[in-house]
Amino acid sequence: MAAMAKRLACRDHSRRRGLPSRLPRRPYRFEVFEGPTLGPHVVTADLDTVKAACLEFDPVAPWETVRERLVPLLPRARPLPVPVDGLVQAIVPPGILTGFGVDLGPAYVMVARDQLARWGIGVETATSTALANVRRTAASCDASAIHHSAIGGVPLTAIQSGQGIASVLILVPDCLERLLGAGPHLLLLPMRDVLLALPASVDRGLAAWLAAEWEALDPNHLHLGAFRHERGSITAEPLEDAVARA
């Protein structure tokens, strides 16, 4: 099994850094892999906190005790420093190859297929449970998680949940409508706990630039293009062409 520190974006645009650790057996042997330099105002979960959370996790705990902590994990752009075989993945609407993790608080334990076998569940159950958990957590998000500003005169809304779920709200668009309104919006997911919403009519070159600026702050950033949101419906929209034109 492998664990990574949870990355959360704070109001000052900071977030915790991922520190993958190999957890081959109990007692655990930790291998810490330092990544690229973090961007300005970026914070990280300290290693002792991550290690303590991992040591408290029981990898053979029954499904009933961990099911409410299972969450979807969108793929980051940078590969893990050490390959992890057999990670569970599923294609989740709007067509994103999604992994899964057990939320330990300051870190996630990434879920592999042999873990599902020990729990006695399949990928379908893992997916539906993880999405239900996101919906439950999203229900606790209020106005404090939503920040309004503008860039170049273009309105910008950022969701920073403080609970690591902002990016995966794209998988539960019914929750997005409650937080953002009916739209239409163009959505960007540069970090695990950052979702940016722009007017759907925004210049795509500006949107591509904004996504790149945010991604540059986080070595473990996401890079999924853009998504159009309108009345609880999500469709993918690539930004690579916009980058080429900008």
Q: What is the pLDDT of residues 23-78, one digit of tens each?
A: 444 555 667 777 777 777 766 778 888 888 888 888 889 999 999 999 999 999 88
Using 50, 70 and 90 to split pLDDT, how confident is the model at 96?
very high
CA distance 173 to 16: 25
Winning range, highest mean pLDDT, from 16-20, 37-41, 80-84, 188-192: 188-192
Whether pTM > 0.75 for this model: the answer is: yes
Q: Across all residues in the chain, what is the average pLDDT?
A: 85
Please tell me the total number of residues recorded for the chain in this structure. 246
The domain limits of the chain are 2-138, 143-245
As to burial, measured by CB atoms within 10 angstroms (0-12 exposed, 13-18 middle, 19+ buried), residue 233 is middle
Q: Which tokens hold the place of 21? A: 């650790």
Evaluate if residue 7 carries a pLDDT over 70: no
Average pLDDT of the residues in 138-144 = 92
